Structure 1
Amino acid sequence: MKKIALALVCLCGISFAADYDPVKAEMLSLSCASCHGTDGKSNGITPTLAGMGKTSMNKILLDFKYGRQTGTMMQKHVKGFSDEELEQVSYYFSKVKR
């Protein structure tokens, strides 16, 4: 049973990575720079995105998109992105060094 669970976890990770397009992800991430800084390295009060885990960041972005997280302009910003695009952005920032 543990082997099956491990195989499923590995396959999920592979499918996420296999669809990753670094050029598209970087282009999409440019819309974040005005608030979160170049490459997600914020110097202000907005959170730093660089080095954030892809799974946790993707969950946060989807929570904003679907109204489960409120209180900032992020709700309006992420509505312009598809779920797949938000996944690309999450993967991009997870690869950027803090």
Structure 2
Amino acid sequence: MKKFIIALFCLCSFSYAVEYDALQGKMLSLSCASCHGTDGKSTTITPYIAGMGKTIMYQTLLDYKNGKRTGTMMQKHVKGFTDAELEQISYYFSKVER
């Protein structure tokens, strides 16, 4: 019984962990560059997203995707990504130095 509980615990904990893939994060982030600048370092009125906290960014992207937040083009843009891809993008920008 102990082994079963331990195995169940391990399986449950792995199902919620998303492994960060730096290459995938970088590739997915390229779609953000036209508005937010290279590596999220905007030089225009568009928000600077480099170094933004991954949790805040991920929740913001989900809010755009789910229609809880409005913006000029973000709702349409994020609908093209899965939640896992949005998480990779959030991880990537959180690791970029400001």
The two structures have a TM-score, normalised by structure 2, of 0.82
Would you say how many aligned residue pairs link Structure 1 and Structure 2? 85
Please report how far the alpha carbon of residue 56 of structure 1 lies from its aligned counterpart in structure 2 after TM superposition: 0.1
What is the TM-score of this pair, normalised by structure 1?
0.82
Q: CA deviation at 1:38?
A: 0.2
Secondary structure of the equivalent of 1:15?
Answer: coil
- Distance in 1, matches of 2:37 and 2:71, equals 20
Runs of 4+ in 1 over 3 A off after TM superposition: none
Task: Give 1:84's aligned residue.
Answer: 84
Distance in 1 (alpha carbons) for counterparts of 2:31 and 2:60:
17
Aligned-residue sequence identity (percent) comes to: 68
Q: Provide the rounded CA distance (Å) in 2 between the counterparts of 1:90 and 1:80.
A: 15
Number of the residue aligned with 1:36: 36
Query: Superposed, which structure 2 residues align to 1:1-98 within 5 Å?
Result: 15-16=17-18, 19-98=19-98
Aligned partners of 1:65 and 1:72: how far apart in 2?
13
**CA shift at 1:72, angstroms?**
1.7
Structure 1, unaligned stretches of length 5 or more? 1-10
Q: Which amino acid aligns with 2:20?
A: Y
Q: Which runs of 5+ in 2 are unaligned?
A: 1-12
Larger radius of gyration: 2
Q: Quote the offset at 1:53 in angstroms.
A: 0.1
Q: State the Cα RMSD in Å.
A: 1.6
* Residue 48 of structure 1, CA deviation: 0.6
